[in-house]
A and B are shown apart, each in its own frame.
Chain A
Amino acid sequence: MENIQSVVATLSSVTKKYGEVTALRDVSLNVRQGELLAVLGPNGAGKTTAIRLLLGLSAPASGKVAVFGQDPRNVSTRRRVGAMLQVSKVPETLKVREHIDLFCSYYPKPLSQKAILSAAGLEGLENRLFGKLSGGEKQRVLFALAICGDPELVFLDEPTVGLDVNTRYLIWNQIRRLIQDGRTVVLTTHYLEEVDALADRVIVLNHGTVVAEGSPSEIKARTAQRKIRCSTRIPLEQVWAIPAVSDVLARDTRIEILTSQVEPVLRELFSRDPNLSSLDISTSSLEEAFLRIISSNESQTNHEVTA
């Protein structure tokens, strides 16, 4: 699989420590050309550290980082890369246009001001001071700075954190356009719907290690559980005893059953309780899959979810 698409950036057995804290422990990952790779994980999982390493902003304690086959700290590498990082304060007394012009000057072949404003949805705001923008608009300026140099590889560190739904969808569309233009995008997020909506591939990080990797649907399939909800008079212990039931929870007046085989379980339930009611069946969301991966990692059961 790794060799079908060419690899544009890699971490090989990378460990990174901040003082006593190990932010990443022996992490290897490949970013393939033209894909949107989502790095998913709870806060403190090491997502931002992975991005900082790939951007050459910090050096690994051990292991190797390569971007376009080179050291990410090389200017020639950085000219092919764009980044949107979490910046808590951007100089507020510069206009949108001035910020963009400055970042354009760093790159050998920047996009035109017009193309950048349209790609970031900033038309009409170019003469506004940064400090006078709304939160969503500020985030879009940072997005503009990430793409202004016409980069082949774009890193987006939590691009939609704290944004309202509309602005989030707007940025999602802009990210999709990056992929359509043939760019490679690495995105970190803790929003699962963002991964579901955008990603070709997901890497799940927890406590600085890769705990799962695959397409969003593979990740879901790996914990391919569906949820049956119903009202029934069957005692919980008996439900537990049905084969293929992996979890049972009493919730209000209903019970929740997790299983990978919905039909046989349902047959069994109806045979024991023909009056079973309020039935509904749902596919487990990526969110649940994610929480399950994280919690199995947490309980140290050594469930090797990684292929």
Chain B
Amino acid sequence: MTSYVAPLPEFSWKKVLRLYIAETRCEFLKVLRMPAYVIPTLSFPLLFYVMFGIVFGGKQTLGSVTAAAYFLASYGTFGVIGASMFGFGVGVAAERGYGWLQLKRAAPMPPLAYFSAKTIMSLLFSAVLVLALFALAFTAGGVRLPFTTWVDLGAVLVLGAIPFCALGLVIGYFAGPSSAPAIVNLLYLPLAFCSGLWIPLPILPRLLQQVAPYLPPYHLAQLALGVISGEPFGRAAIQHLGIMAAFTVFFLLLARLGYNRDDVKLYG
């Protein structure tokens, strides 16, 4: 019944590499050419930082650090979380819901290439945001930190975005293309507020202080604050990392459920 099938040329590692680069490049170009996404995602955290961290915060201190340094950690966290949740949540929901991802899946695209391209793009976006915040903090906020602390803080904020990429992926696989932006906002803004990213936790009501440790952004903010206040990497930091890792695994499992469920749904 079946015909003789001529063997295909081998798919060498060079081709695999080229595929991953092409996927990442397209992801990059796509985002770069969408100012309606780039400008608000970048400017809101910067604007908030200028307003709350620099103008209102002034020379006050919070714990062992200046307000400008404290808010650098919290608005840095706020910014990278937003970039990741929007990038993944809205991006995946749209490409999946409008049938584009299905076409890519029908073509021999390795799903991993798609997810890794999105992750790299998201982390790159976070890095740009963090550098812009650093520049503001240094110039307008007068924040002075040892060089290694800047580097550590940058690394913590950018890599700390990973669990939120995973959370975005969950939204992307369960939300429709038109509801995804609203759902991201509904999760993102309360999560940010309750984790003390806008207003420092010590000033917030007791109830919120008790809720915060159950929310993933709290742990990233605490890690970033730990770096800024020069705390040595110790038990507390390891605990925050562990909780973030657990959240990441949990989100990825949820996303996997959505990925499997996708087969059942018929789009278009």
Contacts and interface: CB of A to CB of B under 8 A. Distances in A.
A143 to B, nearest CB: 12
Interface string B102-121: 11011111100000000000
A128 to B, nearest CB: 13
Interface string A66-87: 1011000001101111110111
A89 interface: yes
Given A102-B22, A102-B26, A76 B8 contact: yes
B56 interface: no
A101 B22 contact: yes
Given A59-B263, A85-B99, A106 B3 contact: no
A14 B226 CA distance: 59
Contact of B103 (A8, A10, A79, A85): A85
Contact of A98 (B4, B29, B105, B106): B29
B200 to A, nearest CB: 39
B11 interface: yes
A99 B30 CA distance: 11
Contact of B5 (A69, A88, A108): A69
Interface string A41-79: 000000011001001111100000010110000011011
Nearest to B19: A105
A99 B107 CA distance: 13
B23 A102 contact: yes
A94 B160 CA distance: 29
B99 A88 contact: yes
Given A33-B3, A94-B26, A109-B8, A57 B263 contact: yes
Interface in B1-42: 1-5, 8-11, 15, 18-19, 22-23, 25-26, 29-30, 33-34
B106 A83 contact: yes
Nearest to B32: A93
A82 to B, nearest CB: 7
Given A33-B3, A69-B5, A94-B26, A106 B108 contact: yes
Contact of B99 (A7, A86, A155): A86
A129 to B, nearest CB: 8
A87 B107 contact: no
A79 to B, nearest CB: 5
A159 B189 CA distance: 43
Interface size class of A (residues with CB under 8 A): 35 or more
Nearest to A34: B3
Contact of B29 (A94, A109, A142): A94
B268 A88 contact: yes
B143 to A, nearest CB: 36
Contact of A93 (B18, B33, B100, B267): B33
Given A75-B110, A83-B106, A85-B102, A106 B8 contact: no
Interface of B: 1-5, 8-11, 15, 18-19, 22-23, 25-26, 29-30, 33-34, 94-95, 98-100, 102-103, 105-110, 177, 263-268
24 contacts: A6-B2, A8-B3, A18-B264, A19-B264, A57-B106, A57-B263, A66-B2, A68-B2, A69-B5, A78-B108, A80-B8, A83-B107, A85-B106, A86-B268, A88-B98, A88-B99, A90-B100, A93-B33, A94-B33, A98-B26, A105-B19, A106-B107, A106-B109, A107-B107
Interface of A: 2-3, 6-8, 10, 18-19, 23, 33, 48-49, 52, 55-59, 66, 68-69, 75-76, 78-83, 85-91, 93-94, 98-99, 101-103, 105-109, 129, 142, 145, 149, 155
5 nearest A-B residue pairs (beta carbon): A6-B3, A89-B98, A93-B33, A69-B2, A78-B108
